[in-house]
Structure 1
């Protein structure tokens, strides 16, 4: 039996470097499971590494994809056969843009049957990142103000919804006004156009001249650096993405201030935390989804795995909604 896998052997534009390959699926080793994938969302964090933004983190050849939903089809030595047939999120395994993913059984997250595949395949990267940032990294609560750039993105929408859960006020920064009404409905207290020269003044006005408690940067580059002027003297900026493909020069941006800038790496958090800790984070996210307090991005289009390059074009063309790759 041959299985499809999307792979790249060098960095570059996806249309030039991605290859669709057919290879037999690997058998799971001790403590591992083999998951037949059903659906995976295309996130910026899946595509940016292909272009070479993080060459020190990627071992070539590589399979893209950090999340998705599938069914356990085989178990390795030391893994209970009760795992067979279970629908799971395979974490810390191979890239998900392939028919079969081999991953450690201890990092497989079972998904309740009442959560459909379209939602389940998005339950990891964005919602768990946002939850951990709010609850642990920043410990946001009533009275806090969080500025989020690229707020029309999937993770921006989640931060807007979590503001209703944790009680903080969110200031959403967007590049256009088309997401404004939706973000307000989701919970954002303010939506400002980041392209306007007066955005810093508007943030200061909204915070009575104090600046925000913290900020989330998903863009990097000069746009990320501008967040330093939007937080208060002891503010914190967490870098979670690089949509611009350009790293921010943070040591220059914070010079003369007391603002702290830290990266947040979800995979590193999962790797360094106990099974109980990351399982608890998922339980909180799943509970919010089942209670209709947290909704994932609506689906804009679906493509077969063999159409990965076309799917990336669709995801980056401004299509409204998340693009999925299906097996």
Structure 2
């Protein structure tokens, strides 16, 4: 089998299409033939720099869906031929994988392959943000950074499903209709900071209840200044740089959170339950993943180039050439 491998950190040019022996599932693992892998900003970070639990050499990718081909000893929850998906398994840009059974969810028959591959990482992240990070209530105003991106589109749809109002931020004018199509009530073009005055104006001087900020150091302060008293700054932009600050600089007694989706699904039971919630939103039509680009798995480097250029919107997917074999 082949996989997207890197031996050193760098740009997309360090990604190579490399042959490896087929993995053999150990006890508690499931052999999976990849159909599609999801592309995430986390993948570009793992390619560019050391991240916690990541080092080189490595196979990139964390998210995907496929078909069970083999069961390791002790696995009882799955059968050969099952369609499965996963939110996080290192090395997912590979034609074949051996994945711990506890990391997998069975894909319902009424959820297609692309949706299954596109929804778990960003959908569960958005579900976490809108429930346990800040529980959206009817009438709440939420600011969503990168509202035309994968997480942003999911967030917008889940906020609207829970009765909130969305002010979306996008980097370019051509992304405004994408965010509006997902349900954003207002969309502002802003490529960095300096947007807080417009948020305050739109909220009658009060500020938003929550800002979901994946913009990194450039947007950190403006996000805080856009919040009302005791508002929540959900900051998840570490790949784009970490700010420095003193707690006394936090305005309006706001709450600062660095939400990690692993705390949303800390057990297999939680993973299955939360994935079920997400599939339910999809069935009801309240959440529809937007596929922003489709690439062959071997062309993952181009997907990274496109993602980092900010020229895409929605979720990028990599299709394996072995998906029909």
State TM-score, norm by structure 1.
0.89
Counterpart-to-counterpart distance in 1, 2:129 and 2:313: 26
Which residue pairs with 1:264 in the alignment? Answer: 259
- 1:157 corresponds to which of 142, 153, 156: 153
Which residue of structure 1 aligns with residue 29 of structure 2?
32
Q: Per-residue deviation at 1:196? A: 9.1
Counterpart selection for 1:293 from 275, 286, 289? 286
In 2, the alpha carbon distance for the partners of 1:322 and 1:236 equals 26
1:158 alignment partner, SS class: helix
Structure 1 match to 2:308 = 316
Query: Measured at CA, do residues 135 and 39 of structure 1 come closer, stay the same or move farther in structure 2, by a change above 3 Å?
Result: same
- Equivalent residue number for residue 249 of structure 1: 244
- Confirm or deny: 8 A CA contact 1:163 1:188 kept in the other structure: no
Instruction: Provide the secondary structure at the position in 1 that maps to 2:273.
Output: helix
Deviations 1:123-165 (A, max 9, x none): 2111111012111221111132111111121111112211221
Q: Output the aligned Cα RMSD.
A: 2.2
Distance 1:251 1:95, change over 3 A: farther
1:103 positional shift: 1.4
Give the superposition deviation at 1:36: 0.8
Distance 1:238 1:42 in 2: 22
Q: Whole-Å Cα distance in 1 between the matches of residues 120 and 71 of structure 2?
A: 22
Q: 1: CA distance between counterparts of 2:78 and 2:230?
A: 50
Secondary structure in structure 1 of the residue aligned to 2:246: helix
Q: Which runs of 5+ in 2 are unaligned?
A: 321-325
Corresponding residue for residue 319 of structure 2: 326
Structure 1 gap segments, 5+ residues each: none
Q: In structure 1, which of residues 67, 71, 81 is the aligned counterpart of residue 67 of structure 2?
A: 71
1:10 corresponds to: 8
- Structure 2: distance between partners of 1:103 and 1:42: 18
Are 2:224 and 2:250, in contact at CA under 8 Å, matched by a contact in 1? no
Aligned-residue offset at 1:255: 4.2
Match of 1:215 among 211, 215, 222: 211
Alpha-carbon distance in structure 2 between the residues aligned to 1:88 and 1:290: 18
Q: In the alignment, which residue of structure 2 is the partner of 1:233?
A: 229
Deviation at 1:74, TM superposition (A): 0.9
Contact 2:143 2:208 in 1 (8 A): yes
Aligned to 2:323: none
TM-score (structure 2 length as normaliser): 0.90
Matched length: 319
CA separation in 2, counterparts of 1:288 and 1:141? Answer: 17
Once residues 288 and 40 of structure 1 are traced to their aligned partners in structure 2, the CA distance between those partners, rounded to angstroms, is 22
Q: Does the CA contact (< 8 Å) of 1:214 and 1:237 recur in 2?
A: yes
State the partner residue of 1:85: 81
Tell me what 1:202 maps to.
198
